A = this chain, B = another copy of it.
Amino acid sequence: MNKLIEQIEALQDIRAGLFSKDFLLTWEKSDHDLLMILEVASVLKQMRDLNISPRVFDTGLAVSNFRDKSTRTRFSFASASNLLGLSVQDLDEEKSQISHGETVRETAAMISFLSDFIGIRDDMFLGEGNRYMREVAASLDESYAHGVLPVRPGVINLQCDMDHPTQSMADLMHLKQVFGSIDELRDKKIVMSWAYSPSYGKPLSVPQGIIALMTRFGMNVHLAYPEGYELIPDIVKKASAQAKESGGGFHVSNSMEESMKDAHIVYPKSWAPYHIMQRRTDLLKKADRDGLRDLEQECLVSNAKYTHWEYDHAFKALTHDQNAMYMHCLPADISGVSCLKGEVNAEVFEESRLQTYHEAGYKPYIIAAMMLCYRFSSPAEVLKKLLEHNKSRIRYV
């Protein structure tokens, strides 16, 4: 408990600027911002273990707007909202009458009269998802400025075409936990590698989010993919620049084998090539079903050339101590389990399975930390009061 109090007091030295700022891309946030999120999330997690309720909202809505399927992030958002006292209200666009264009602005206002947060997943259309979030945010600014809204709801990116910040921050929290501190991550080699999958059209946000975040802490980041499976060039450039600035490294390779050598951490995961996603976006906009079918076929044929990009014991044997830490955002395509042949060998996955559950388990706290830091100018003050108040989450237990 004393250690927890110390940790909370140390928050006051972090010069974060998260108050009243949406969380849309990690690379718009300062290092202090990110450290603050990690620390607040850590405190919230410890409070949970101590059965202390960090409820700061007596009532209030957290709106979720999932424009693509989700289990993990949906439950993480629901858990974070509930932890702080908010009720989730889903904006189900099928049950609504929402058109495109002008009315994004209107809808944003209509769902926000008594809302505190809007969490959005929009990862289908390249160049669209993050822009949609900003359109929502701009509308909230306008409505708040004109007194339409009593409080300005915060917007949280639950995965877009560019970034998946609640995932990458949970991954970073996991790394910090395993290696002991952020400083210990310096010079560690992390490989964000493409891996084979029999499916198609997986978003780019996870690999982009990982390289754009991990290059900021002096890590030696390796990005590996078969020729043609590029990510959005601007984000790759940003990762490279950040690596230079942080004293880390950033390397791109077209060989899984080469990149795995001496890796401390590996993140083998499938994604669709950038140029395919662009064509897919155009076809989706035109609702061109035949074109989409052809593109899928083309993409699967291309994927099939790289079935050897499966993370297996041979690859693992190349890594540091033949035992690199394995990461995945889940669900993984596990050969012989969820598909015939996929991203990872079944035994290799099993060796790290529970670690990936731990990894996923940080996400609710990361989201709750984002919420707390958005709403309160001094999270440290709030956490201290919560600890003093010491309200049981489960009473009489």
A residues near B (Cβ < 8 Å) are 48-49, 53, 55-61, 63, 66, 69-72, 74-76, 78-79, 82-85, 87-89, 91, 95-99, 101-103, 106-107, 109-111, 113-116, 142-143, 146-151, 330-331, 334, 337-338, 353-354, 357-358, 360-361, 363-364, 375-376, 381-382, 385-386, 391-397
- Give the Cβ gap from A51 to chain B, nearest Cβ, in Å: 9
Q: Closest 9 interchain pairs by CB? A: A79-B114, A71-B96, A53-B58, A102-B337, A148-B357, A78-B89, A382-B396, A109-B357, A113-B361
Contact yes or no, B331 A99, CB < 8 A = yes
Question: Given the complex, which residues of B lie within 8 Å of A53, measured CB to CB?
Answer: 58-59
Given contacts A58-B53, A58-B395, A78-B61, contact A111 B71 (CB under 8 A): yes
Given contacts A83-B114, A148-B354, A396-B381, contact A70 B55 (CB under 8 A): no
Given contacts A58-B55, A396-B56, contact A98 B71 (CB under 8 A): yes
Contact of A83 among B59, B331, B376 (CB under 8 A): B59
How many identical chains are in the complex?
3
Contact yes or no, B59 A393, CB < 8 A = yes
Residue among A106, A115, A334, A363 with max Cβ neighbours from chain B (10 Å): A106
Given contacts A375-B394, A395-B58, contact A334 B109 (CB under 8 A): no
Question: Given the complex, which residues of B lie within 8 Å of A382, measured CB to CB?
Answer: 396
Contact yes or no, A75 B334, CB < 8 A = no
- Give the Cβ gap from A75 to chain B, nearest Cβ, in Å: 5
Contact yes or no, A82 B87, CB < 8 A = yes
Question: Given the complex, which residues of B lie within 8 Å of A376, measured CB to CB?
Answer: 396-397
- Give the Cβ gap from A121 to chain B, nearest Cβ, in Å: 11
- Give the Cβ gap from A211 to chain B, nearest Cβ, in Å: 24
Given contacts A113-B76, A143-B357, A354-B148, contact A56 B107 (CB under 8 A): no
Contact yes or no, B150 A49, CB < 8 A = yes
Question: Given the complex, which residues of B lie within 8 Å of A76, measured CB to CB?
Answer: 113
CA distance A149 to B87 in the complex (A): 22
